[in-house]
Chains A and B, each alone.
Chain A
């Protein structure tokens, strides 16, 4: 009986011990697992290394961000410059075109275009007329034609192939007329570049230049020319 009793108490005690051991070890086990989960196997040096690497990465990214902003700014500047350059190029080309035009107007270069050709010749000798001046071409006739041409929009006018400018002078000099110091005998060929129709109708106006010239016994011919080439102004 005694042995059984002792054994019974021992069995109970061992049961208690089993439960105790189970609980303690289970709790220990779980705590261990929890700690492992919270700190996934990182030693101090590893952690420091990770931290420093992460810091480096962050710093690098910040630098990248800054550089990207700078790049954007620079790109904007480049775009602006390009736009400005384009504008300037446009301005320059405009200026170049203008210069070309102005040169043409000033007679610095050869010009070419459609226009009309007017020939003024002295009238035929008339023994009945006492004064031969009545049928000679005078500088005022030339003036009239030239003025009419300029008024009706001629872009370039030349006498006997000599370009006229705004400073040109025409002087009657006996049997010849002097244009900018160059003597020209009759007949005078006046070429003008411009709108053919307009020039022609302006000259042909009733009571206009043509009629007046014909009244003064001159021989007046007018032709349309599809291509008139005028040389540059002499001495310029």
Chain B
């Protein structure tokens, strides 16, 4: 369990320490990528809780969503339509849905645990 947390910490440190400057117009893509990553992460957590977790789906979804979101934003910038808003919208809705589902599952689990405890 410590390995993913270590990876997260290392990633954060690398991100904070890098002095790579990307042009301002590309920061939009990055934020979309962040959103996609978070969405996929919560989707994975939900799937894990619903016991339909598939590692391949999760990993491929993670990277693919990031790349897709970034390219969508890129396309939007180049054809003059704010397509990244669509990505933000879609990912935002899915993010909230996933979190809600996770919350409900956790609540049910907690309630059933409580019942079990009371029964026993």
Contacts and interface: CB of A to CB of B under 8 A. Distances in A.
Interface of A: 7, 9-31, 33-34
Contacts of B18: 26, 29
B34 A24 contact: yes
A96 B16 CA distance: 96
**B-side binding surface: helix, strand, loop or mixed?**
helix
B9 A21 contact: yes
Interface stretch (B25-33, B73-81, B89-97, B100-108): B25-33
B31 A27 contact: yes
B8 A12 contact: no
Contacts, number: 98
24 contacts: A9-B55, A12-B55, A14-B7, A14-B8, A16-B58, A16-B59, A17-B11, A18-B10, A18-B11, A19-B37, A20-B8, A21-B9, A22-B11, A22-B12, A24-B37, A25-B12, A25-B13, A25-B15, A26-B18, A27-B27, A27-B34, A29-B16, A30-B30, A33-B21
B4 A14 contact: yes
Interface residues of B, number: 34
Nearest to B6: A14
B33 A13 contact: no
Given A10-B4, A27-B30, A30-B22, A21 B10 contact: yes
A179 B106 CA distance: 149
Contact of B34 (A11, A16, A23): A23
B47 interface: no
B14 interface: yes
A10 B15 contact: no
Nearest to B26: A30
B15 A28 contact: yes
Nearest to A20: B37
A31 B8 CA distance: 20
A23 B4 contact: no
B3 interface: yes
B11 A21 contact: yes
Nearest to A31: B27
A29 B27 contact: no
Contacts of A22: 11-12, 14-15
